[in-house]
Amino acid sequence: MFILAAIAIVSLLQNVKQSDTITNDEFQKYLSEGKIESLEIGDNVIIGKFNESGITSRQPKASKTFTVGYRPDLLEKLIDRVEASPQPVKWSFAKPQWLMPLLSWIVPLAIMIGFFYFVFVRNARSGPGGMLMSFGRSKHKMHGKEQMKVTFNDVAGIDEAKEEVAEIIEFLKHPKKFQKIGGRIPRGVLLVGPPGCGKTLLAKAIAGQANVPFFSISGSDFVEMFVGVGASRVRDLFQSAKENSPCIIFLDEIDAIGKKRGPGFVSGGHDEREQTLNAILVEMDGFDTNDQVIVMAATNRGDILDSALTRPGRFDRQVFVPLPDVKGRTAILKIHSKKVKMGPDVDLERIARGTPMFSGADLEAIINEAAIAATMDNKDFVEMEDLEEARDKVRWGRKKRSRAIDQVDKKLTAYHEAGHTLVQSMLKDADPLHKVSIIPRGPYGGATFSLPEKDRTHYTRKYCLAILQVCFGGRIAEEFFCDDISSGAQADIQTATSLAREMVQVWGMSQTLGPIDFSAKQQEYFGMSGQEHSQKTAEVIDAEIKKLIDETYNGAKEIIENNREKLQMIADALLKYETLDAAEVKIILEGGTLSKPTVGDLLKAEQEKQSTPPPIPTETPENKSTDTSGDNK
């Protein structure tokens, strides 16, 4: 409304002033030439109008107005010259103007008053601060008691973490039990663990189990471009929580604002992030004994949090939420599979064994991908092959059967994967083989999958040496059977180098260096990090890593050299079938033959299926009768 009024008044003022301003000399000239039709004489200005002969070429056949200033003391001489014009000129004195000058200062003032009324008065009705002050209000989401449907029954794979936070549920349910004895429940609980392990789900389950409101906000939501906004939002969040206690405040990704504070010339001084962190610390210190508010936070990087945040009285309880073991993965798969129709051949425990280092989010993705695949294949339920394919898709990427593969590359990939397969099958300290495939997935031309019998808490030296030999099996097979080497061993070399470095620098598995930690330290001073050993020791470390690589490389080379025929049979089978499971590899190593269709047979059957026209529906007596009756109508 105010904008429209402003546009209207500006337009009106512009219309009034749509005239040319001329000089006194030009006015005398036009007057003497008889080009002026009429004049309206004001206090110190004249508004005139040209006649037809005075119209300029810019606006032909149209009236043209002009303005010219004059001295009031020369008014009589001006009237005499007007009367002496060769063409009659109509002239008159202008009526006093009061409306336009009044509007020229009243309307802008009214617009300003209306704007301030809209901002400060009207928006004050919407709550403290209104729209202008909404920057300082917290962006948290509040879930009431009736909305928290997640309980501990929906959380699996982190039993130890559930046991550790059980006392918090008891405190929220029965706070007087703790107050009676004089115990103080932890003010804050910090959930630390890899991404996708269920930290947020665990926090929601605590609120659902205790039947209390749940306030959630991300650490990045506190920080804005305006200084002080984060601290204001912290105060607003804690005030809302206290008004709804007992409740839980959940700060997700707290490392966004809780990083360690350093010297001003390194960290940028007291910036907005540090002010927000200080506000959180002050609010947690300000809890009364009877305040039934539990602050929970989640992070993937507990090592970078400020020590003031993790001291007793604040986030003094740190709960590690690890990746699930095989038992936990089985339980997680069972929870997610309740929503999906599963076939009788589904073995979730086998899937769990084949997914080491998978998080709960990864396992949920496997179930979902399997359900999608079964739906696309028009199946009534999810089968084991759908789950196997979904697991490989989540880990390695989607199959790329449409990728045009040169036969030379396909042959090289077959020998490469056959080398991995042979070495892994021959080493008793390596994980059991699951399957091998030369079907491209993601950036990989093929892959050899293992199926660990159990989760490993510790890596033995023999197991690590076996992994190194398996890594080099592909490169050695390329040397022996392709007379060349390729970049396909890039990932294998990276894995082997990283593992060998860990064995020497961190795990103390070098006989020369002994059990000494030579790992790079995480602490940084003034933005720089350094090593705590000499250059000579660094050279010894490099030599020990090279020694491990050479020993395992030669060990894998000896295995392949002594089993050339077996590797050749595995490679031929891969070229023929593209994918082999552990049982089929065992048959090949024992000299047997496989009785399953080859890739060529499958392609031929698919082509015949596509080329065969659909059967023509036969005309039944009922259909004929129906058609006839329709024709008669």
Residues of the chain with CATH 1.10.8.60: 326-396
Contact between 299 and 193 under an 8 Å Cβ cutoff? The reply is: no
Q: What is the C-alpha to C-alpha distance for residues 197 and 250, in angstroms, rounded to an integer?
A: 16
Question: Domain 407-520+534-608 maps to which CATH number in 1.20.58.760, 3.40.1390.10, 3.90.79.10, 1.10.3720.10?
Answer: 1.20.58.760
Question: Domain 141-261+271-320 maps to which CATH number in 1.20.140.10, 2.40.50.140, 3.40.50.300, 1.10.10.10?
Answer: 3.40.50.300
Q: What is the C-alpha to C-alpha distance for residues 361 and 417, in angstroms, rounded to an integer?
A: 29
CA 295 vs CA 305, 517, 620: distances in Å:
16, 37, 73
More confidently predicted of 310 and 530: 310
Residue 478 has pLDDT above 80, yes or no: yes
Contact between 455 and 356 under an 8 Å Cβ cutoff? The reply is: yes
Residue 226 has pLDDT above 90, yes or no: no
Nearest partner of 473 among 566, 553, 386, judged by Cα = 553
Residue 615 has pLDDT above 70, yes or no: no
In CATH, what number does 326-396 get?
Answer: 1.10.8.60
Longest CA span, the chain: 130
pLDDT at 132: 44
Q: What are the tens digits of pLDDT across the range 162-197? A: 888 888 888 888 877 877 777 677 778 899 999 988
CA dihedral 501, 428, 561, 580 (to 10 degrees): -100
Contact between 481 and 534 under an 8 Å Cβ cutoff? The reply is: no
Residues of the chain with CATH 1.20.58.760: 407-520+534-608
Q: What are the tens digits of pLDDT across the range 487-513? A: 889 999 999 999 999 999 999 999 888
Spatial strand order in the sheet of 317-320: 141-143, 214-218, 247-252, 293-299, 188-192, 317-320
- Count of residues for the chain? 633
Contact between 170 and 334 under an 8 Å Cβ cutoff? The reply is: no
At residue 343's C-alpha, the angle toward residues 341 and 347, to 5°, is 110
- Catalytic residues, by residue number, are 417
Three-state secondary structure string covering 378-440:
CCCCECHHHHHHHHHHHHHCCECCCCCCCHHHHHHHHHHHHHHHHHHHHCCCCCCEEEEECCC
Would you state the structure tokens that stand for residue 360, as one six-digit string? 């709960």
Q: What is the mean pLDDT of residues 96-105?
A: 67
> Helix %, strand %, coil % for the chain, to 5?
55, 10, 35
More confidently predicted of 87 and 61: 87
Cβ-proximal residues to 136 (8 Å cutoff; 6+ apart), any chain: 129, 228, 229, 232, 233, 236
Would you state the structure tokens that stand for residue 64, as one six-digit string? 């043209």
Residues of the chain with CATH 3.40.50.300: 141-261+271-320
Lowest mean pLDDT among 24-28, 133-137, 284-288: 133-137
Q: What is the mean pLDDT of residues 32-52?
A: 80
Band the pLDDT of 621: cuts 50, 70, 90. very low
Would you state the structure tokens that stand for residue 93, as one six-digit string? 């004195």
Strands 433-437 and 45-50: unpaired
Q: What is the C-alpha to C-alpha distance for residues 410 and 440, in angstroms, rounded to an integer?
A: 10
Lowest mean pLDDT among 7-16, 312-321, 416-425, 499-508: 7-16
pLDDT at 568: 94
Any bridge partners for residue 21, and if so which?
A: 67
Would you state the structure tokens that stand for residue 490, as one six-digit string? 């890039």
Q: What are the tens digits of pLDDT across the range 204-214? A: 999 888 888 88
Q: Is 288 exposed, middle or buried (0-12, 13-18, 19+ CB in 10 A)?
A: exposed
Q: What is the C-alpha to C-alpha distance for residues 137 and 158, in angstroms, rounded to an integer?
A: 35
DSSP state of 182: T
Cβ-proximal residues to 279 (8 Å cutoff; 6+ apart), any chain: 230, 231, 234, 235
Any bridge partners for residue 580, and if so which?
A: 436
Contact between 142 and 214 under an 8 Å Cβ cutoff? The reply is: yes
Any bridge partners for residue 27, and if so which?
A: none
CA 33 vs CA 53, 148, 171: distances in Å:
9, 92, 102
- Helices first, then strands: H and E counts in the chain: 24, 14
User: Which range has highest mean pLDDT (76-85, 165-174, 287-296, 520-529)?
Assistant: 165-174
User: Which range has highest mean pLDDT (178-187, 232-241, 616-625)?
Assistant: 232-241
At residue 630's C-alpha, the angle toward residues 628 and 633, to 5°, is 110
pLDDT at 421: 95
Q: What is the C-alpha to C-alpha distance for residues 536 and 194, in angstroms, rounded to an integer?
A: 36
Instruction: Residue 83: count other Cβ atoms within 10 Å of its Cβ.
Output: 10
Long-range Cβ contact pairs of 535-542 (< 8 A, separation 24 or more): 540/512, 540/513, 541/504, 541/505, 541/510, 541/513
Residue 371 has pLDDT above 90, yes or no: yes
Residue 630 has pLDDT above 50, yes or no: no
Lowest mean pLDDT among 165-174, 241-250, 266-275, 442-451: 266-275
Fold that domain 1-95 belongs to in CATH: 3.30.720
Contact between 288 and 241 under an 8 Å Cβ cutoff? The reply is: no
DSSP state of 19: S
pLDDT at 554: 96
More confidently predicted of 263 and 57: 263
User: What's the mean pLDDT when you consider all of the chain?
Assistant: 79
Q: What is the mean pLDDT of residues 619-630?
A: 42
pLDDT at 220: 74
Q: What is the mean pLDDT of residues 534-560?
A: 93
Residue 593 has pLDDT above 70, yes or no: yes
Strands 188-192 and 293-299: parallel
Q: What is the C-alpha to C-alpha distance for residues 435 and 157, in angstroms, rounded to an integer?
A: 26
Nearest partner of 355 among 434, 258, 427, judged by Cα = 434
Residues of the chain with CATH 3.30.720.210: 1-95
Would you state the structure tokens that stand for residue 565, as one six-digit string? 């025929």
Q: Is 213 exposed, middle or buried (0-12, 13-18, 19+ CB in 10 A)?
A: buried
Would you state the structure tokens that stand for residue 497, as one six-digit string? 């180098």
Band the pLDDT of 573: cuts 50, 70, 90. very high
Cis peptide before 246 (omega within 30 of 0): yes
Band the pLDDT of 586: cuts 50, 70, 90. very high
Strands 447-450 and 293-299: unpaired
